[in-house]
Structure 1
């Protein structure tokens, strides 16, 4: 992945849009991602990870 934040992609959780470079406030940005397609998939990745963590916690109880 590129180290330059201006060439990376971010998902804006407030607007639901992908941004090239850090354009919005950090609290609304998810990323960075190497490609626009990866950033666009951010909401799905977040849901998948949350479900996985919830299942792991439930298994520990």
Structure 2
């Protein structure tokens, strides 16, 4: 773990908790995020990105 990663935050998809530094297996976490608050909203960010990508794909198919 690098010094920089110790100051970043991840959202653990399996536990639903925010972790400071990469504490769990990479397959279970999303991030890194600069703040704990950003990490706590990881699922909302993922949903928003997914919706945007779906819109972009639909627009490209026209």
TM-score, scaled to structure 2: 0.89
CA–CA separation in structure 1 for the residues paired with 2:46 and 2:7 = 22
What residue is the counterpart of 1:29 in the other structure? 29
The number of equivalent residue pairs is 59
- List gaps (5 residues or longer) in structure 2: none
- Give 1:7 shift: 1.2
- Give 1:34 shift: 1.0
Aligned CA-pair RMSD: 1.0
1:1-61 equivalence runs, <5 A: 4-61=4-61
- Give 1:60 shift: 1.1
Instruction: State the 4+ residue runs in structure 1 displaced beyond 4 angstroms.
Output: none
- List gaps (5 residues or longer) in structure 1: none
